[in-house]
Amino acid sequence: GEVEFRSILYIPGMAPLNNEEVMNPKTKNIRLYVKRVFISDDFDGEL
């Protein structure tokens, strides 16, 4: 079978003030949606 992906990834214009903010699980805001259906926001490791 053939698989096709389309995605939107937002990257803010300014980096956070400290690295602790980046690694905080409460501020990690990457979410996976498939056909407008929420799948997951729990990703191990960094992207």
Top-confidence residue, 47 or 16: 16
The reported pTM is 0.38
Termini Cα distance of the chain: 26
Nearest to 11 by CA among 30, 36, 34: 30
Tokens linked to 39: 């799948």
Locate the DSSP E strands across the chain.
Answer: 32-34, 37-40
pLDDT score for 46: 57
Tokens linked to 36: 């407008």
What integer is the mean pLDDT of 22-30? 66
Instruction: Say whether pLDDT at 2 is over 80.
Output: yes
